[in-house]
Amino acid sequence: MSKVIPDAVRLAAHRAFVRTTCQAYAATLSAGLPSATAIVALIQDQSAWLLAGITVMLALVSPLAAGGTAYLQWIAKGLPDDYLPAAREQQE
């Protein structure tokens, strides 16, 4: 019985998720967490905690969404032809 999603595709999708999520977190953290907008808003208006909370939440959740998108794209499209020889070698 063949698998719906081959192991090589699943492994590539997991790697894509981790790589993309890490890259997105690196970009988010290098841009500044919390953002300058939220800090300025808190300084000017002490009741702006909602804005700060939403900003931090989005900064933490958005990279996970990017990683999930990468994972699903790999699952949907499978391995590119260029990856197939390496995948076969790893299975042996």
Is there a domain that residue 24 lies in?
Answer: yes
In whole angstroms, give the CA distance from residue 70 to residue 76: 10
E strand or H helix that includes residue 24:
helix 7-31
- pLDDT tens for the chain, residues 1 to 92: 567 888 888 888 999 999 999 999 998 887 766 567 667 777 887 777 777 778 778 888 999 999 999 999 999 887 767 666 665 666 66
Domain membership flag for residue 1: no
Residue 20 one-letter amino acid: T
**Residue 8: predicted pLDDT:** 81
Q: Is 21 among the domain residues?
A: yes
User: What one-character DSSP code corresponds to residue 2?
Assistant: -
Residue span of the structural domain in which 17 resides: 7-80
CA dihedral of 16, 21, 26, 28, whole degrees rounded to 10:
140
Domains identified in the chain, total number = 1
**Predicted pLDDT at 33:** 62
